[in-house]
Structure 1
């Protein structure tokens, strides 16, 4: 078996395992008493992570460069980042929700990379002179890990809006000191969670839904809080690399512009959360907007925009 065939085997294996992980995690939400389902999903995710790491490692060994030079490689690395962040967060929080949102988005990126991209975009090619730098690993890897972390945090905010049915949910009390282990909330202060209807009357939520919304809100905030510093480091590393390669820290390339927009969106989100000026629906909507902005920054401008980061598939 050639190295190329072995690489394809690991990618295809990861696709099958992700499908297994998706089914088991979603089933575990329905049949909550079957703990073996979530354990199976976790084991499948670990195997996916190892399979994707093996595929990237084989590509690195066979082509003598860190595999982040084209869209196919970055999508595989993004999928690996999703599973890595998922495993770390699940280990810390013991929450099934992370697996339920991570598995489908990981499956989508692997499927898009292996099934939708043209074959010439999947092939490795010699690096252009500007990419032959150690900054390739530093800048691109940190940016993609930040994207994966922010996307997962934003998806939790989308889930918050779905469960709350888009109503104004006021989470009163300290929303940053709850333990979400096994989705149980330790109340340090008395909580009152209410939902305001369009007629300004308040409907008191059930205790279970109140706890679920509180845990989702808290987890989303913590994950986005982790992804934002990574995004900041990645942008700074990119500016330094750009200065070395092209003699300018910032050139308002479409990718750079959208990276700045992404940074501003999540800076506004964290500012609103830290100052406690927004809670519940408003920051969730802002994070949902951030979800769209991240994908535009990662994929949209690479295809449609003409600049230093363009792949040129659509344009």
Structure 2
């Protein structure tokens, strides 16, 4: 049986991995050197923890741990991280760590939370429950970021209309300038999109493990991916199409309304959300 402390190390790796991918996403959008460096060191810590775990398994089983899918997923993730770090060190290919480690994050999540013969039924059940908890927590965190972004866009529209109608007064002075409001709405969406995406990945993994007849066409599943698509389109419009001002603020408001529809309406129509645990 795998020691509980080692399972906790795996859970820590997933969290560090998620934060690393988030920082690489920020660097991908903005060429943020500080985010890139922080993401690299987090990924390096994940690699060290993985290596320790891998050697521990070799000692425990007295063999190289690749004889089943569970072990193979772990070794595959370790290879991905190792190769990406080596390539980054010697070739300096931009964004290779970001895209490679999205795959790695999915694999390490499957390894950590999927049931295995090497884990007792009690521990396996606990891990699946914790996986659902992490999925819900990440979704709520992203919703929080999107909600604040929505508020900034609402303030942008109010300020825009006050300026357009030349209604000078205390209300105008108390609201931040348009550029600041627009920037804050954008930054919060940059944070919210990768967190929601990672949460959805973990949610799909949980569904495949826990639900006997999981369907991709479930209303909540489709609605959640609709939310990630429209917010991704928001980022695409800002970065590639260079949309700004009132147009992108209205798009952000519409995106949040779709999020609310997904949360309240599609959630109530789902076959498994709110009833499985």
Could you tell me the TM-score, scaled by structure 2's length?
0.47
Higher helix share: 2
